[in-house]
Amino acid sequence: MQKAYHVDLAGLMRVYETNYAKMNSLLPFEPTVGDTRSYQVSQMAYQLEVKEITRYTTLVDVCQCDARPVFPLPRMQVRLYHDARVAEVCASEQISRVEARYDYPNKKMMQKDEKFQVNQFLGEWLSFCLRHGISRAPIY
């Protein structure tokens, strides 16, 4: 019998907190809607665009933008919660809302811990940009 999956809330919150700090390092000091920051890392271009700002949150589109992609490139929406100082991936690729847990198997073949994996991926991607990225003009 397979053991039931339980969300590691403490681990997920650690990922959210570190992603918040990394996102803030890459965004403008006082962002406004429409602000766009682009980074060149090796031969890849990454872009962050502020889509929405409310009193306690900021919504940012994060994507890899290449002129001639050979395969689908990573794209996600991240909401920063300033009062809690956390950043969470709320949408990724074709997923309009990332659930905390999925039954497995499922129609879309999501992993049981899809939310943790996509947020961990964001953290690794942001670390990569912070370590190796060069700020450049926005890509439109």
Residue 59 has pLDDT above 70, yes or no: yes
Q: Is residue 2 in some structural domain?
A: no
Query: In the predicted model, what is the mean pLDDT of residues 39-61?
Result: 90
pLDDT value for 97: 59
CA distance linking residue 51 with residue 32, whole number of Å: 9
Could you tell me if 98 and 117 are in contact, meaning their C-beta atoms sit under 8 angstroms apart?
Answer: no
Token pair 């999501």: residue: 110
Q: Is residue 70 in some structural domain?
A: yes
Number of alpha carbons in the 13 Å side-chain half-sphere of residue 120: 8
pLDDT value for 128: 85
Q: Is residue 60 in some structural domain?
A: yes
CA distance linking residue 92 with residue 84, whole number of Å: 22
Q: Is residue 1 in some structural domain?
A: no
Note the pTM of the prediction, 2 decimals.
0.79
More confident residue, 66 or 25: 25
CA distance linking residue 131 with residue 99, whole number of Å: 30
Distance of CA 84 to the CA centre of its chain: 17
User: What tens digit of pLDDT does each residue of 79-134 get?
Assistant: 999 999 999 998 876 665 565 555 566 565 555 677 888 899 899 989 988 888 77
Q: Is 26 exposed, middle or buried (0-12, 13-18, 19+ CB in 10 A)?
A: middle
Find the range with the poorest average confidence among 30-34, 62-66, 82-86: 62-66
pLDDT value for 23: 93
Query: In the predicted model, what is the mean pLDDT of residues 16-31?
Result: 92
First CA to last CA across the chain, in angstroms? 52
Domain range for 64 is 9-132
Mean pLDDT of the chain: 80
Number of structural domains the chain divides into: 1
Q: Is residue 118 in some structural domain?
A: yes
pLDDT value for 34: 93
Q: Is residue 16 in some structural domain?
A: yes
Q: Is residue 94 in some structural domain?
A: yes
Q: Is residue 137 in some structural domain?
A: no
